[in-house]
Amino acid sequence: MFTYYIIFAILLAIGSFFNRNILLRKIMLVAFLLLQTGIAVYGFLNLHKTEMEFFTYDSLGIIFLCVLTILSYTTIYHSYIYLQHRKDNTRNQSLYFFALILLIISMTCVYLANHLGVLWVFIEATTLSVAVLIYHERTQLSLEATWKYVFICSIGITFAFVGIIFLSKGLQGSGSSSLILADIPAHLKNANVFWLKLAFIFMLVGFSTKMGLFPMHTIAVDAHTVAPPPISAFISTTLMNVGFISIFRTYSLMAGTSIQPWMNSILLWCGLLSIFVSVVYILKVNHLKRMFAYSSLEHMGLAAIGIATGGIGYFAAIFHMVLHSFVKASVFYQIDQIHRVFHTYILSKTGNYFSKNITGAIVMLILLISITAMPPSGLFVSEFLIFRSMFEAHQIMALLFILVLFTLVMWALGKNILKMLFVPSSHPIETKEPLKIRPIESVSQFVLLAGAIYLGLNPPAQLVNLINESIMLLPK
């Protein structure tokens, strides 16, 4: 099945590269979505099955594959609207969908890869395909951001590769050379600690270019700024999940060895610094997309802390990533509408959104509640669980520090968003006539947000089982 998926999906990608016909493009996109759904459903029904030697439908991969599949529908839909309003020429549109399909394929492969080398290859493939999408608007700024993104990601990924080499050096001590994920932990028991530590550091730095953790967060933030909003939604959610899944897998590989407490402290510091940096910037930022990019950084930091503190934290970190994906994706879909109304992302030039697009404004209000993790929001549950795990791990000082920072985030986001919704802009409003937004374009955001709330309050047993299964190998 996976072979067919790869072949047909790549054929569809190539097809949409050469195709200039609008109707045919629609048909191909729908066919691709059906194919993507097919592989997700098939994987869910055939858990633990290995295909093409290097791909396994394991529980962690399936969780994120399902998230990706759901978000592919909305992202392709919103991309379509975005491209229609930009009136791009048809060649650029073809290139856009070609790169988008390739990006989705390579992310699928990353989630399902069971071999470290294969994982690495497809992470690099995500960088290359998303570069085309980030550069879509073809301005000087997008050129700068794309250059930085591709270059620093490539170097980061090279570092991750160095980490993989060190890991295999550590493995050699016990006479194994297999880099299949499932085989590694058993051979690491009496490996040289020095190699393991080096391997972890290099892989953490390398993969954090994708997850957007401190200190490699800057490129992801820049990429958010210039990318088309539907693509920002992908960078912020599924692509960060790619980084998360790689770091989580690396951590699980070495969690059984003596360096686990050391890894925990590294991840904890990484998370704390990410949150600290994000809060500093959220307080002063004046660009709508950058504000939410920093908010993603904050959530990634929290997920890293969840892994670091262990116990219920492992569960909460994965759960948090899933819920965050739904909420943050709808933020960026809504930002596309806001941009069409105000023709700018600069916060001080926006205002009185309620009178211009009432459905969108209601979405934004619910988003504010969801993203700051106020009670009906699903993120409240996962954040609460992470705080609990920090409490149980006796990280009281770190917990207090984070709580203070989160209060500041809540204030900053609330101030900026409420001002945009209700207060008329103090700057002279653009002379351009705002485009009419059809209310139906907000439906996807309502669905995703409702989904996030439902998953948080009443997580289905399948999801809980899948998460529990993926953290089974970790120490309690």
Partner 1 sequence: MVNVLLITFLMTLFYIAIANRILTFIRVLAVQGVLLFFVVLFQLEEINTFNLILILMETIFFKSIAVPLFLAYIIKRNKITREAEPYLPNFVSLIITTSIVVATILLTNAIKDSALDKIFFIVALSSLFTGLYFIITRRKIVTHIMGYLVIENGVFVLSLAVGTEMTHLVNVGIMLDIFVSVLVLGIFVNRIGNTFEEMSVDNLTNLKD
Applying CB under 8 A, the residues found at the interface with partner 1 are: 54, 115, 117-118, 120-121, 124-125, 127-128, 131, 135, 140-141, 143-148, 150-151, 154-155, 158, 161-162, 164-166, 168-169, 172-173, 177, 179, 192, 194-195, 222, 225-226, 281, 284-287, 290
Closest distance of CB 75 from partner 1, Å: 22
Peptide bond into 215 cis (omega under 30): yes
- Cα distance between residue 47 and residue 56, in whole Å: 8
Residues 6+ apart with CB under 8 A from 360: 334, 337, 338, 341, 353, 437, 442
Smallest gap from residue 168 Cβ to partner 1 (A): 5
**Cβ at position 351, least distance to partner 1 in Å:** 21
In order, the DSSP letters of 24-76 are HHHHHHHHHHHHHHHHHHHHHHTTT-EETTTEE--HHHHHHHHHHHHHHHHHH
For residue 18, with 0-12 CB atoms within 10 Å meaning exposed, 13-18 middle and 19 or more buried, which class applies?
exposed
For partner 1, the closer of residues 104 and 134 by Cβ is: 134
- Compare residues 109 and 247 and give the one whose CB is closer to partner 1: 109
Q: 276 and 297 in contact (C-beta within 8 Å)?
A: no
Nearer Cβ to partner 1 (31/165): 165
**Minimum Å distance from CB 163 to partner 1?**
11
CB of 284 to partner 1, least distance (A): 6
The dihedral through the CA atoms of 309, 313, 314, 319 has a sign that is: negative
Distance (Å, whole) CA 52 – CA 396: 47
- Closer of 97 and 161 to partner 1 (Cβ): 161
**Chain-centre distance for alpha carbon 94:** 24
CB of 113 to partner 1, least distance (A): 10
Largest pairwise CA distance in the chain: 71
Of 147 and 262, the one with the shorter C-beta distance to partner 1 is 147
- Identify the DSSP state of 425: P
